């Protein structure tokens, strides 16, 4: 019981820490292109992970991965980062975070399509209900920002693809090396996106020498996000992935709080209804997974 409680607290701290980075990102809207910010964020994370990995496992472990699945993880995380950067710039922080919580349902559907996992009724029910919640949240925002409201779905889909790729490469390397591989490949994709955006001639993607505070804040996001992932990992180790899963909604609570106090984004009743539906779908999917795990436990024994 003590380990489970500690695991829940570790996970809650990790998810809440992620919201700090999202709030900082929102405060930098338009100061620098999103791919460049993402690239700096992952440069800092990759540098820290490289030092730790080289010190613990030898400097030869810092070679780039050769597995296509490892590169897919990096590409997916890069897309997720850009999607969420752009989402929090054009939408209220809480609403962008809410839509990102469709990730468990997207992951479940992708697992059915690509990992040949059983197509359970609970998965489809949760997905349809969550989609309805997304439509409710998007409706007022679509009138204001158009198709840009799909950026948080891009972020959620990127994260879902990364999770599916994680399952493909599970056990092929240690946890630290897996984190390093994902971070360094994401960094390379974001650097490529930064260069492509700069050469495109589109003004908002033109890279200029930023104010030092922009780079400093991106670096802080890189450090805080790395610690957040470590906190979540510790929570998972101590309490189990299924147990800590609901703690992710602490991120939404923090996002709502930050959005209200720092950006004046008062919760909209329609958006709150959509958020409740999406969260309910996610909790239903979590409950179904826990129920099946408990049923399987006696048989395994």
Q: Which residue has the higher pLDDT, 108 or 47?
A: 47
Mean pLDDT is lowest, of 78-92, 149-163, 264-278, for: 264-278
The whole-number pLDDT of residue 207 equals 93
pLDDT (average), residues 267-283: 83
The whole-number pLDDT of residue 1 equals 53
Q: Which residue has the higher pLDDT, 286 or 49?
A: 49
Residue 19 has pLDDT above 80, yes or no: yes
Q: How far apart are CA 103 and CA 285, in angstroms?
A: 12
Percent of the chain at pLDDT exceeding 70: 90
Residue 142 has pLDDT above 90, yes or no: no
Which structure tokens are listed for 74?
Answer: 């990096």
Domain boundaries, the chain: 68-171+268-301
pLDDT band at 118 (very low <50, low <70, confident <90, very high): confident
The whole-number pLDDT of residue 185 equals 96
The whole-number pLDDT of residue 73 equals 92
The whole-number pLDDT of residue 147 equals 67
SS3 sequence of the chain: CHHHHHHHHHHHHHHHHHHHHHHHHHCCCCCCCHHHHHHHHHHHHHHHHHHHHHHHHCHHHHCCCCCHHHHHHHHHHHHHHHHHHHHHHHCCHHHHHHHHCCHHHHHHHHHHHHCCCCCCHHHHHHHHHHHHHHHHHHHHHHHHHHHHHHHHHHHHHHHHHHHHHHHHHCCCCCHHHHHHHHHHHHHHHHHHHHHHHHHCCCHHHCCCCCCHHHHHHHHHHHHHHHHHHHHHHHHHHHHCHHHHHHHHHHHHHHHHHHHHHHHCCCCCHHHHHHHHHHHHHHHHHHHHHHHHHHHHHHHHC
pLDDT band at 193 (very low <50, low <70, confident <90, very high): very high
């Amino acid at each position: 019981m003590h380990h489970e409680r500690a695991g829940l607290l570790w996970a809650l701290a990790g998810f809440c820490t992620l919201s700090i980075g999202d709030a900082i990102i929102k405060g930098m809207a338009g100061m620098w292109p999103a791919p460049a910010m993402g690239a700096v964020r992952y440069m800092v994370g990759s540098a820290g992970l490289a030092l730790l990995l080289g010190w613990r496992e030898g400097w030869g472990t810092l070679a780039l991965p050769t597995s296509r699945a490892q590169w897919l993880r990096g590409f997916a995380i890069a897309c997720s980062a850009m999607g969420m950067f752009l989402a929090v710039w054009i939408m209220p922080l809480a609403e962008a975070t809410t839509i990102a919580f469709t990730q468990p349902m997207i992951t479940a559907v992708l697992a059915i399509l690509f990992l040949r996992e059983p197509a359970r009724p609970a998965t489809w029910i949760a997905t349809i209900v969550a989609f309805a919640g997304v439509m409710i949240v998007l409706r007022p925002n679509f009138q204001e920002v158009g198709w840009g409201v799909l950026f948080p779905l891009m972020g959620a889909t990127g994260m879902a693809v990364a999770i599916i790729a994680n399952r493909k490469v599970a056990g092929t390397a240690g946890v630290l090396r897996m984190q390093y591989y994902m971070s360094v490949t994401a960094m390379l994709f974001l650097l490529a996106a930064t260069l492509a955006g700069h050469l495109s001639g589109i003004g908002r993607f033109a890279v200029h020498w930023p104010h030092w505070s922009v780079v400093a804040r991106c670096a802080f996001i890189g450090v805080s996000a790395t610690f957040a992932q470590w906190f979540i990992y510790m929570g998972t180790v101590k309490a189990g992935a299924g147990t800590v899963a609901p703690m992710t909604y602490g991120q939404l609570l923090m996002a709502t709080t930050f959005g209200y106090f720092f950006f004046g984004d008062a919760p909209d009743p329609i958006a709150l209804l959509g958020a409740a539906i999406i969260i309910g779908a996610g909790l239903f999917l979590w409950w179904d997974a826990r129920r099946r795990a408990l049923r399987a436990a006696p048989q395994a024994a």
